[in-house]
Amino acid sequence: MERLLLALRMALVAVSLLLSSSAVAAQGTAVLSGRVTDATTGTALPAASLRLVELHRETRAHEDGTFTFGVVPAGTYQVTVHRIGYQVLTRSVVVRERMDSLVFSLRPSPLQLNATVVTGQVSERGASDAISPVTVLSDAKLDRRLDGTVGSTVAGTPGVSMVTMGPATARPVVRGLGGDRVLILEDGVRTGDLSSTSGDHAVAVDPLTARKIEVVRGPMSLLYGSSALGGVVNIIRQEIPTVALEHMHGTVSAQVASVNEGATIGGFGEFPLAGFSVRTEASVRTAGDLRTPVGTLANTQLNTVGAAVGASKVGEWGYAGVSYRYFGNDYGIPGGFVGAHPNGVDIVMRRHMARSEVDWHPAAGYFESVKANLAFSAYNHDEVEKSGSVATSFQQLMTAMEVVARHQHAGPATGGVIGFRGQYRDVTPGGAVRATPTADWSLAVFAVEEFGTGPLTAQAGVRYDVARFIPLRDRNIIVQNDTIPTAPRWFGSLSASLGTLYALENGLRFGASVSRSYRTPDFNELYSDGPHLAAYSYDVGDPRNDQEIGYGLDLFARLERSRVRAEVAVFANQMNGYLFPRNTGELGRVGQRWKFQFTNEDATLAGAEGEMEITLVEHIVLEATASYVRGTISGSRDTIPGIDGAPDVVESRFLPLMPPLNGRVGVRHDTPTWSYGGGVRMAARQTLLGDFETETPSFATVDVYVGWRLVLGSRLHSISLRTDNLLNAEIREHLSRTKEILPEAGRNVSLLYRVQF
């Protein structure tokens, strides 16, 4: 509570300082008004969103397509206009004391063109200009994919799979890297949960109220430090409003699903109040046990509740604000496999997060913006046996602060950032897990510069991190018959990257990047020694484990034109000291759980991925994605004893939990009012197996959907009806812990309704 009060107090001080120093008299003002229309029919487009970029102001078109920005200072501004089913329009507008009414005409488009991305970038830019492979899910594209978890929503995008121990625990795996190598953010801030440490820990985020989800693939250690070797998934809500609102608007969404009798409802509202921009949000989700083609996967129910409130002061100088978010999730982990409780385990999760953020745009000086945020999170969950007793628990308290200053032209550089980040975390396990209570802190400084204004641009950067892990209890851990005492550890590493992008006039771009990235071991990889109830494993850390160092190469080609959008990438990552839980083939001292030893091995991950959308004829789009990754362990491998007198086994040269070749091909008909289509999702047989893994067969499954958008008054209503696994096929996902008990979900009919007001 003291940290929460400190965060709020600092935010209020920042707001008062900025307000006292930022009042600038305008040399004349005007009312900026006009109308938004369909470029092909000339009809009004109500509910279109308009934004005055430099002034951080936003409004929406009324029922007749008209809009108004009141009291706009004279000057030149960029206005962006956006509406689902249409291309985003950006126009430069000169504001004078006397102005004619403006007309913005939007062109219908079945493709998601001109999407912007902020994740992993020096500044917000078009996704086609990002120097990394990137996927943006928003608007209709997000509606077509929206599911109950972040992992299941983004799974199937290029290079992305998901690992699960039941539907509630789905977490993204990017290019074969999961867990603590894929960073999940909310509005650019770490979520503060423990989903990265174990497969039974759910992500403490519900995607229902997301404005968009950005997936950036490839090493992102330069801007985000440890935990970003595979990539970054950023759920963007603008929980702290970044624009001054002209009037109230928001979204209400409801979704139902047949395969688990699931239902969810939630929404957010944004409105001006006493000179502040305020955002409120609430959501509720419930689901029963998952039905599969051969039976019900028991104890896979979930119940979540989320709520948030944020407020900010917005001006020409930028914005400053605070927010608070609560997330509660009660869900089940199924039983029935080796080491599992017969009836499964229930998990009770709670997360509180308070944030403050200031984005200041100085009127003069070297830096164009200075952004600072402070976040405090309190997370805990209990793993409960069916008897009602709490067998395992985790509590995590985390405080993080980051300051990033952006500049434009400086010498040969056309733009760049310098930044600082600090984090303190306290993790207290309880119950039978026997992980050592640990405190850790980290500090980092970084700089990224961009060069070039023509067709060839480049980006270069460096970052240095230092981290300290301190076990709060003395104990010994037995590692391969050696007794190792727990001890504090220091870690420090340099990250660096160099990337280029070459743009041709026909919308074709080629990109390449090389990088050195790193990851520190987590507390469980260093200090665990005991059974983990809900994970059904016996985990053994090693206080001697070293940090991971990755050397990456990315090559990609990107094409974006009015009728085509495509991106293809190939990559290779050499991982020195890759840390993973190796299945020893033994059973732990407690129960019949597999014993997993966290160990360093050199490894190589290489593969390719791609996606394309092609407008074959007007409104009809062919779409396809494909992903492949191969993970191998370098060097010689040992022979380990078999189980119960079985022959000895030579350790595999392949990394465990690598997704097989997979992809999807589909066709859709898309207009601003109607959309419908279908496709086939496929995965190859996985025969490249880690220790004690089993093969999974190939599969193909059919999906279909239909969507309808209509305007009533100035409110945009959308309805999406989707059927997954139409033929009720038996699907065994290789990254699922439950695949040997039952297959994945059977036929599922889901209905999503949204209204924007």
Confidence of residue 405 (pLDDT cuts 50, 70, 90): very high
Check residue 431 and give left, alpha or beta (phi > 0: left; psi -120 to 50: alpha).
Answer: left
Length of the chain: 757
Average pLDDT over residues 316-320: 94
Lowest mean pLDDT among 93-102, 335-344, 620-629, 673-682: 335-344
% of the chain beyond a pLDDT of 90: 74
Interatomic CA distance for residues 363 and 569, integer angstroms: 41
H helices of 360-489, in order, are none
Kindly list the distances between the CA atom of residue 700 and the CA atoms of 200, 332, 735, in Å, as whole numbers in the listed order. Answer: 27, 28, 16
Residue 435: per-residue pLDDT: 72
- Please determine, for residue 290, whether its predicted confidence score (pLDDT) is greater than 90: yes
Look at strands 649-650 and 748-756 and give their pairing: unpaired
Residue 734: per-residue pLDDT: 96
Tokens of 207: 């995607």
- Please determine, for residue 198, whether its predicted confidence score (pLDDT) is greater than 70: yes
Tokens of 333: 């982990």
pLDDT digits (tens, 9 = 90+) for 524-582: 999 988 777 777 778 899 999 999 999 999 999 999 999 999 999 999 999 999 998 88
CA 282 and chain centroid, separation: 20
For 585, how many CA atoms within 13 A lie in the half-sphere containing its CB? 17
Q: Which residues of 508-538 are buried (b: 16+ CB within 10 A; e: fewer)?
A: bbebebebbbbbbbbbbbbbbbbbbbbbbbb
- Please determine, for residue 490, whether its predicted confidence score (pLDDT) is greater than 60: yes
Please indicate whether residue 25 or residue 736 has the higher confidence score (pLDDT): 736
**Cβ pair 306, 206 in contact under 8 A:** yes
Interatomic CA distance for residues 215 and 183, integer angstroms: 10
- Please determine, for residue 17, whether its predicted confidence score (pLDDT) is greater than 60: no
**Cβ pair 357, 324 in contact under 8 A:** no
Residue whose entry in the numeric block shows the structure tokens 């898309």: 670
Lowest mean pLDDT among 248-252, 394-398, 650-654, 680-684: 650-654
Interatomic CA distance for residues 44 and 105, integer angstroms: 9
Contacts of 20 (CB under 8 A, 6+ apart): none
- Please determine, for residue 6, whether its predicted confidence score (pLDDT) is greater than 50: no
pLDDT digits (tens, 9 = 90+) for 592-607: 567 889 999 999 999 9
pLDDT digits (tens, 9 = 90+) for 120-141: 888 889 999 999 999 999 999 9
pLDDT averaged over every residue in the chain: 90
Kindly list the distances between the CA atom of residue 39 and the CA atoms of 44, 84, 608, 616, 627, in Å, as whole numbers in the listed order. Answer: 10, 14, 39, 21, 37
Lowest mean pLDDT among 263-277, 400-414, 485-499, 553-567: 400-414
Per DSSP, 564 falls in state E
For 668, how many CA atoms within 13 A lie in the half-sphere containing its CB? 28
Lowest mean pLDDT among 14-28, 605-619, 656-670: 14-28
Residue 635: per-residue pLDDT: 65
Confidence of residue 34 (pLDDT cuts 50, 70, 90): very high
- With CA atoms as reference, report the closest residue to 149 among 52, 264, 37: 264
Average pLDDT over residues 76-80: 94
What residue type is 516 in one-letter code?
Answer: R
Average pLDDT over residues 190-217: 95
Tokens of 214: 């950005």
- Please determine, for residue 636, whether its predicted confidence score (pLDDT) is greater than 70: no
pLDDT digits (tens, 9 = 90+) for 454-481: 899 999 999 999 999 999 998 899 888 8
Average pLDDT over residues 28-38: 90
Average pLDDT over residues 274-288: 97
**Cβ pair 416, 449 in contact under 8 A:** yes
% of the chain beyond a pLDDT of 70: 92
Interatomic CA distance for residues 639 and 755, integer angstroms: 60
- Please determine, for residue 341, whether its predicted confidence score (pLDDT) is greater than 50: yes
Confidence of residue 713 (pLDDT cuts 50, 70, 90): confident
- Please determine, for residue 8, whether its predicted confidence score (pLDDT) is greater than 80: no
This prediction has a pTM of: 0.92
Confidence of residue 706 (pLDDT cuts 50, 70, 90): very high
Residue whose entry in the numeric block shows the structure tokens 């970029």: 53
Contacts of 593 (CB under 8 A, 6+ apart): 338, 339, 531, 532, 536, 537, 538, 587
Residue 191: per-residue pLDDT: 95
Lowest mean pLDDT among 459-468, 528-537, 700-709, 724-733: 528-537
Residue 340: per-residue pLDDT: 63
Residue 590: per-residue pLDDT: 54
Confidence of residue 11 (pLDDT cuts 50, 70, 90): very low
CB atoms within 10 A of CB 315: 18
Residue 23: per-residue pLDDT: 37
Tokens of 237: 């809500």
Interatomic CA distance for residues 670 and 708, integer angstroms: 10
pLDDT digits (tens, 9 = 90+) for 221-232: 889 988 899 999
- Please determine, for residue 638, whether its predicted confidence score (pLDDT) is greater than 80: no
